[in-house]
Structure 1
Amino acid sequence: MPAAPQPTLVFLHGFAESPAIWADFTRDFPSRYRLLMPALPGHGPNPAPVTDYAMEAQAQAVLAQLDAAGADKVVLVGHSMGGYVALALAEAHPARVAGLVLFHSTALPDNKEKKAARDESAGFVRRHGVEKYMRSAIRPLLAPGNRKQLAAELKQLEDLAATTPVTTILGCLEAMKHRPDRTQVLRDARFPVLFIGGHDDPAVPLDTLLPQLALPAQSHALLLRNVGHLGFMEAPELTRQSVLDFCAAIC
């Protein structure tokens, strides 16, 4: 009897990032895994024009890439906004999902304060441009103790983010502000879910993440001290091994 096909591992980058963030992270993944790293709409080196940045529309764009690649059953690994997209995909097509990794991400919608912060960010971008915004917005995502030692990596990420079109920045800020509560996706999940969180994450505070760990029937967690929102940079070995262990239990 032929072996069942292995799920494809799909890595979804975050807001103002690109598939390049996963290059070092996945370099030592076993060759038995098939890896896909799609660029989310409006992102990447040659982004096509985008009219809809809603998480549902982004999920459909990812699904089209999965279909084109012949990837049926997938493990979704989503960083930050990539996690929002992964949740939207899992909500619309749960049978396609073998596992879900929320990598510094959340199923909760923006609260009033977060929505106001999105509007402030959009105003800053309109007044000062994308590059100046990214020079001020990314550094605080790192845990304070990591900012000096990861200065080179931080600069690379800032440079990458600064190339993101202004229309993408503004479109994604608005779409993230209006995304719905998707905690029901976690409650209904018939697939395992891995949560990766940082004790110093200003974007996804642990006090908002911890209650979500109890929602899926199969829940796993890696909660990291001295890590902010960028665990793939701040704790690459620990986060990589956690994702590998999670995938090994599924595949």
Structure 2
Amino acid sequence: MLLHTRSAGSGVPVVLLHAFPLSSAMWHAQREELSSRYRVITPDMRGFGESPLGDDPPSIDLMADDVARLLDAEGVDRAVVGGQSMGGYVTMAFCRRHADRLLGVVLADTKAGADPPQAALNREAMAAAVLEHGTSVLSEQVLPNLVGETTKTGRAMVFGRVRALTSVAPPRAVAWAQRAMAARPDSFGTLRALQVPALVVVGEEDGLTPPAEARAMAEALPYGSLAVIARAGHLSALEQPEAFNRALVEFLGGLRAR
């Protein structure tokens, strides 16, 4: 399967993988900012945006292999690969399965630990509810936790955009992704073995994958650094794009210097 992608710019390839349950549309501000210096590749993960879901069993590893196939199709040997939330899970699977294709790694508002049993059960319940009742379930149960208090109370346009992106997520893709995330393994060993520079980003108001999780990941990485985005929750790239982009540009500039 070949993923649909939005790409812009030229230079060092930077692949950005979107959060659940959004699409590559969430990376608009990053494509705008980075494309003057980098080749920015932002795919729709399978089932989301314009990418087909297919008939394969749910698997984060399969999503990582999708990204490797996309790089092949784009003629890219090695790239900076990063992701937010679910995109971070896929990035860590990519690190485990395709480490030789990495120039650097970005892990934003995500976590390296596997789901504990209750969290996995909650994902299965969400998958079943979405298949039965549609994506309105996401607005009630998922949307409130995706953004921080600053966005909820003071950035109505941003909150509205997140709501709109969430509302168009296909139910089958949502259920498939929830089951894939529930089955993902612990990735701390993968982080400890990573031999390229890595940036961990987290919104200071992120309640789903809080700053303590991000610090643990940064400490596990041999060449890791941490950036905390003020006044942002779980979708820091959307909530505070200027601050997120500054952290990303600084990290990428360090890679170019190397």
Is the pair's TM-score, using the shorter chain for normalization, greater than 0.5?
Answer: yes
Distance 1:14 1:174, change over 3 A: same
Change (3 A) 1:133 1:174: same
Aligned position for 1:186 = 191
Select the residue among 59, 63, 68 that pairs with 1:63: 68
Q: Which amino acid aligns with 1:141?
A: L
Tell me how far apart the structure 1 counterparts of residues 222 and 199 of structure 2 sit (CA, whole Å).
11
Corresponding position of 1:207: 212
Match in the other structure for 1:222: 227
Q: Secondary structure at the match of 1:23?
A: helix
C-alpha deviation, 1:121, in angstroms: 1.9
Map 1:87-106 onto structure 2 (within 5 A).
87-106=92-111
Kept in 1: contact 2:53–2:173 (CA 8 A): no
Q: Secondary structure at the match of 2:231?
A: coil
Q: Residue 5 of structure 2 corresponds to which residue in structure 1? A: none
Q: CA deviation at 1:181?
A: 0.6
**Which stretch of structure 1 is more off in the superposition, 234-243 or 150-159?**
150-159
Amino acid at match of 1:244: V
Mapping for residues 38-77 of structure 1, pairs under 5 Å: 38-45=43-50, 47-77=52-82
Structure 2 residue ranges without an equivalent (≥5): 1-9
Cα deviation 1:13-47 (Å, max 9, x = unaligned): 01121111111222022523111111111111353
What corresponds to 2:246 in structure 1?
241
How far is the alpha carbon of 1:50 from its aligned partner? Answer: 4.0
Distance 1:67 1:53 in 2: 22
Q: Which residue of 1 aligns with 2:20?
A: 15
Deviation at 1:166, TM superposition (A): 1.3
- Give deviations 1:160-194, integer Å, cap 9, x for gaps: 22222211111111110110011111101110110
Q: Shift in Å at residue 211 of structure 1?
A: 1.9
The answer to which of 208-217 and 126-135 deviates more is 126-135
Q: Greater CA deviation, 25-34 or 234-243?
A: 25-34
User: Which region of structure 1 is more displaced relative to structure 2, 216-225 or 128-137?
Assistant: 128-137
- C-alpha change, 1:135 and 1:156, in structure 2 (3 Å) is farther
Partner residue of 2:4? Answer: none
Distance 2:211 2:80 in 1: 24
Q: Which residues of 2 match residues 162-201 of structure 1 at below 5 A?
A: 162-201=167-206
Deviation at 1:135, TM superposition (A): 4.6
Note the C-alpha offset of 1:205: 2.0
Equivalents in 2 of 1:71, 1:28: separation in Å? 21
8 Å CA contact 2:78, 2:102 repeated in 1: yes
* Secondary structure of the structure 2 residue equivalent to 1:164: coil
Identity across the alignment (%): 27
SS of residue paired to 1:75: strand
- The C-alpha deviation readout for 1:80-118, integer Å capped at 9, x for no partner, is 111111111111111100111001112211123322321
Q: Distance in 2 between matches of 1:174 and 1:48?
A: 13
Measured on the aligned residues, the alpha-carbon RMSD in Å equals 1.9
Q: Distance in 2 between matches of 1:216 and 1:129?
A: 39
Q: Structure 1 residue 56: deviation in Å? A: 0.6
TM-score, normalised via structure 1 length: 0.91
1:191 maps to a residue whose letter is: V
What count of residue pairs does the alignment treat as equivalent?
247
- Cα separation, 1, equivalents of 2:147 and 2:160: 12
TM-score with structure 2 setting the length: 0.89
Verify: 1:36 aligned to 2:36, yes or no: no
SS of match in other structure, 2:63: helix
Distance in 1, Cα, partners of 2:37 & 2:55? 34
